[in-house]
């Protein structure tokens, strides 16, 4: 696992976006994994900028979302399908039908999960997965106690996650859905490259467990310690509880040419 500590979220976003631009230019039909929430917004802004400057085209690329709420109306502004469309898809040149989300309104949610995993496999598998992390260590919506091998499935959101996400629902936790359809940890681990982004002191405990703690279902993100190509990008505040942060800075400053995001 590569750990990159940077001064702020803008610097992190630029590093991740540049890696994605390089990937898509090298492999125009690359499969990108999109996350929602606050953490990836800077990355999307940088990708939009690169597209508008003519440095990259997404017309042949694929996009797959990590997760979706269960039961929100199709026109709800916080339906993740609408969020991704607003934040990145509609701002660049993805071809119609190339960006997908789990169907949180399916009458058979588990079958919808199996179908979603099959769609990812048919596209060739995710080349680059963007991740955030919850304060309780969840990635996508895999809450504490989640299976390390499960595919896309229905998950019940913890009160902490619903409280954290209430800011997107006018601060009213009662408006936050109680269930979601999420890529499982098994699906996420199949991505060829993973970049997890976190900023702020509120993520410091989860980051310390992810990087320096034991692999444990209590902190689902710790499964990434077993990923062959995972990079964690954090600001100073999110890095504040790491015991080896000086070494991580040294390792990045003295990286070899091929050691990138």
List strand residue ranges (DSSP E) for the chain, in order.
Answer: 2-6, 31-34, 62-65, 67-69, 99-100, 128-131, 153-156, 179-182, 193-198, 230-235
Q: Which of 67, 68, 89, 209 is catalytic?
A: 67
Judge whether 209 and 137 are in contact, CB under 8 Å: yes
Judge whether 141 and 157 are in contact, CB under 8 Å: yes
Q: Which of 136, 164, 209, 235 is catalytic?
A: 136
Q: Is 108 a catalytic residue?
A: no
Judge whether 4 and 15 are in contact, CB under 8 Å: yes
Q: Is 117 a catalytic residue?
A: no
Q: Which of 117, 143, 155, 235 is catalytic?
A: 143
Q: Is 75 a catalytic residue?
A: no
Q: Which of 117, 138, 153, 227 is catalytic?
A: 138
Encoded tokens for 182: 């999420």
Q: Is 143 a catalytic residue?
A: yes
| DSSP assignment of 80-122 | HHHHHHHHTGGGTTPPTT-EE---TT-SSHHHHHHHHHHHHHH
Give catalytic residues, as residue numbers: 67, 136, 138, 143
């Amino acid at each position: 696992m590569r750990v990159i500590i940077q001064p702020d979220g803008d610097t992190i976003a630029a590093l991740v976006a540049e890696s994605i631009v390089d990937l898509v230019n090298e492999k125009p039909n690359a499969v990108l994994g999109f996350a929602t929430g606050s953490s990836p917004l800077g990355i999307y802004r940088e990708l939009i900028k690169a597209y508008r400057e003519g440095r990259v085209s997404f017309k042949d690329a694929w996009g797959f979302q990590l997760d979706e709420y269960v039961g929100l109306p199709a026109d709800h502004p916080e339906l993740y399908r609408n969020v991704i469309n607003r934040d990145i898809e509609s701002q660049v040149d993805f071809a119609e039908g190339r960006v997908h989300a789990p169907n949180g309104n399916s009458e058979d949610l588990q079958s919808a999960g199996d179908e979603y995993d099959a769609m990812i496999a048919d596209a060739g598998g995710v080349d680059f997965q963007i991740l955030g992390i919850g304060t309780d260590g969840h990635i996508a919506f895999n809450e504490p106690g989640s299976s390390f091998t499960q595919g896309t499935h229905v998950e019940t959101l913890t009160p902490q996650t619903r409280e954290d996400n209430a800011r997107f629902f006018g601060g009213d936790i009662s408006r936050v859905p109680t269930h979601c359809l999420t890529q499982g940890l098994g699906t996420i681990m199949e991505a060829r490259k993973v970049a997890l982004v976190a900023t702020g002191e509120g993520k410091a405990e989860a980051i310390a467990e992810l990087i320096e703690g034991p692999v444990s279902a209590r902190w689902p993100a710790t499964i990434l310690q077993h990923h062959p190509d995972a990079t964690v990008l954090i600001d100073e505040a999110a890095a504040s509880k790491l015991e080896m942060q000086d070494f991580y800075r040294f390792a990045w400053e003295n990286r070899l040419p091929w050691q990138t995001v």
